[in-house]
Amino acid sequence: MHTVVAEKGIREYSKKGIRVGKYELGKTLGEGNFSKVKFATDVQSGQSFAIKILDRKRITDLNITDQIIREIETSKILKHPHIVKLHKVFASNCKTKICMVLEYVTGGELFYKIKQGGRLTETEGRKLFQQLIDGVSYCHKQGIFHRDLKLENILLDSTGNIKICDFGFSALPQHFRSDGLLHTACGTPNYVAPEILANKGYDGAAADIWSCGVILFAILSGYLPFLDRNLAALYQKIYKGKVEIPEWLSPGARALIRRILDPSPATRIN
């Protein structure tokens, strides 16, 4: 991968623990198929970070090199208060690991906040949704489309503000075809826009907005608008855009959700 530089010390040991370059590793914050996210401290400044350590061999075996490059390149471009910041990328001397030094966000996923505490008030939900739209709008103005917006990809900082993360499925201008549309089917089933399921090309901004509508619904209701154990049945519900909006929501919230969860991207609110 041409996006990283080598840095010494991928596994240097200090008296306190393992070092990655100038960063001392702490507890594991998360673990995936090809990576681990570790808490880390800059031994020079004392500042806290999250370091995503990627295994090059696993990335090659899973054939996701392009996805990782896209995530790194996209994260380098984006500088916004509601998007997790990428500070630095480097590789180990032996070239077996890639390290992404990320902003450390302490409040966990929005998914767990709702799962543990239930739906939020409209006042609290309004604040989070405004921040989400602010971050997503900024991405779109940079020509970047997330394509996997979901509760699990929204983190909360120590003051309860959101941070959008995980741009592995993002699209850049060069990913558009000659028709001006995107054609790669991606995203998470419960959040995916109906036009992506139609497999006829889609507008990245409109698809992201649909996912934001699913997130808003979940924030205010405590559950997802489209649910079914059968994937084909789930996709039919999404494709038709049939959703039962809770009656306890205010008329304004209900109207906004209807405008966003419009199965037609041509008439969906932008």
How do residues 183-241 score in pLDDT, each as one tens digit? Answer: 988 889 999 999 999 988 999 999 999 999 999 999 999 999 999 999 999 999 999 98
Q: Which residue has the higher pLDDT, 18 or 86?
A: 86
Handedness of CA 118, 124, 128, 133 (dihedral sign): positive
Residue ending a domain, among 103, 120, 140, is: 103
How do residues 79-90 score in pLDDT, each as one tens digit? Answer: 999 999 999 999
Residue 223 CA to residue 215 CA, distance in Å, equals: 9
Out of 148, 166, 203, 208, which one is annotated catalytic? 148
Buried b (16+ CB within 10 A) or exposed e, 155-184: bbbeeeebbbbbbbbbbeeeebeeeeebee
The answer to the question of residue 268 being in a domain is no
For residue 115, what are the contacts with CB-CB under 8 A and spacing of at least 6?
none
Q: What angle in degrees, to the nearest 10, is found between the helix axes of 204-221 and 251-260?
A: 150
Tell me the CA distances in angstroms from 111 to 94, 174, 217, 224, one per residue in order: 37, 32, 13, 11
The answer to the question of residue 171 being in a domain is yes
CATH number at residue 237: 1.10.510.10
Question: Residues in the chain, how many?
Answer: 270
| Res. 176 pLDDT band, cuts 50 70 90 | confident
The answer to the question of residue 73 being in a domain is yes
CATH number at residue 32: 3.30.200.20
- pLDDT at 17 (0 to 100): 66
Residue 260 CA to residue 56 CA, distance in Å, equals: 39
Known catalytic residue at 55: no
The answer to the question of residue 265 being in a domain is no
Which residue ranges make up the annotated binding site for ATP? 52
Domain with 73 in it:
5-103
The answer to the question of residue 78 being in a domain is yes
Residue ending a domain, among 103, 129, 159, is: 103
Residue ending a domain, among 103, 120, 141, is: 103
| Res. 174 pLDDT band, cuts 50 70 90 | confident
Mean pLDDT of the chain: 90
Is the pLDDT at 7 greater than 70? The verdict is no
Task: Say whether both 119 and 149 belong to one domain.
Answer: yes
The answer to the question of residue 269 being in a domain is no
Tell me the CA distances in angstroms from 208 to 174, 179, 192, 235, 270, one per residue in order: 18, 19, 9, 17, 10
Lowest mean pLDDT among 17-21, 36-40, 82-86: 17-21
Structural tokens at position 60 = 């090659």
Task: Say whether both 88 and 120 belong to one domain.
Answer: no
Task: Say whether both 125 and 11 belong to one domain.
Answer: no
Task: Say whether both 176 and 130 belong to one domain.
Answer: yes
